[in-house]
A and B are shown apart, each in its own frame.
Chain A
């Protein structure tokens, strides 16, 4: 089904799993030697969410109207109602509605 050679996708999955588990273990290893300073904590803390910002920024900037409307709807609902499923659901519905309206018009 997938067009990717088997060894490549197994390698990729292995890589992801190693990094995912490695990071969980690394925190323990580092702490058992020297506690993390506040600057390092602040850097890592901001970086890990900034990565998500970096992924979504081009999707919104260069996406179609549906993607932008979805982003707006999800963000507003997430902030106002704090319901994760409602936020994602309404975001998807907004994108679907926008495209349906474009086709109908």
Chain B
């Protein structure tokens, strides 16, 4: 069960429960965000089951919100895939950061443990790991708490969201806009991102004007990434 080779890592029920309880305060917010997604999904014409299936299987607020704008027939699958890939490359870095912790486990177990990895439980689990925690139940339990909260919120959102006749009168159409701005500027906006973000905004606006639909998301993302790479770095090593 606990293969202890060069470093140690294990998974048990008490640890999972501890992770679940630790994530509870954040999970209450997640219910509210799930509710916002459910309401937005209903007003974008998604069926209730579509919204619920998205929340259950995708479990990612940014890509689900971004997908809403493309949810029409015929479905722009290529654009949908490109935008989702661009949003999710971040998760690749996040699971990579967890690799040292997961390394002692078998591959199947490693893959199973990142199923419910999302932004907030990743951040919490990694913080705990750096403080010496080796019980992977922290990651799993906190993921379960967020996942359940996200689905519950979506359920409430689709249940009540349909009853509102003119969503824009209540500001319901700006939920996604506000959600993304909160993700970008809430917490700790980093100054090093100023130039990449400016480049992203300009490139996206230009592409929105002159290129085929949805390409602006990819163009903006690439512009931001490139600027971050070529930008001269002052004071390398200082916290950005």
Residue ranges of A at the interface with B (Cβ–Cβ < 8 Å):
1-5, 8-9, 11-17, 19-28, 30-32, 35-36, 39, 41-63, 66-67, 70-71, 74-75, 78-79, 82, 84-85, 87-88, 91-96, 99-100
B159 at the interface (CB under 8 A from A): no
Contacts of A8 in B (CB 8 A): 73-75, 77
B171 at the interface (CB under 8 A from A): yes
- Extra 7 A-B pairs, beta carbons < 8 Å, given A45-B228, A96-B170: A2-B71, A9-B47, A13-B58, A19-B85, A27-B92, A41-B93, A71-B177
Contact A54 B216 (CB under 8 A): yes
Contact B53 A13 (CB under 8 A): yes
Contact B94 A2 (CB under 8 A): no
A20 and B63 contact, Cβ closer than 8 Å, known pairs A27-B91, A57-B220, A82-B187 = yes
Contact B32 A85 (CB under 8 A): yes
A91 and B181 contact, Cβ closer than 8 Å, known pairs A17-B58, A44-B90, A96-B171 = yes
A50 and B220 contact, Cβ closer than 8 Å, known pairs A19-B85, A39-B229 = yes
Residue of A nearest to B221 (CB): A51
Contact-residue size bin, chain B (C-beta under 8 Å from the other chain): 35 or more
Within 8 A of A (CB), among B195-220: 196-197, 199-201, 203-205, 208, 216-220
A-B pairs, top 8 by smallest CB distance, nearest first, are A50-B224, A54-B220, A46-B228, A27-B95, A47-B225, A92-B171, A48-B90, A54-B204
Contact A1 B48 (CB under 8 A): yes
B57 at the interface (CB under 8 A from A): yes
**Can you list 19 A-B contacts (CB < 8 A)?**
A2-B47, A3-B45, A9-B50, A11-B75, A12-B67, A12-B71, A16-B84, A23-B95, A26-B95, A43-B225, A45-B90, A49-B184, A50-B197, A51-B221, A54-B200, A58-B208, A59-B177, A74-B177, A92-B174
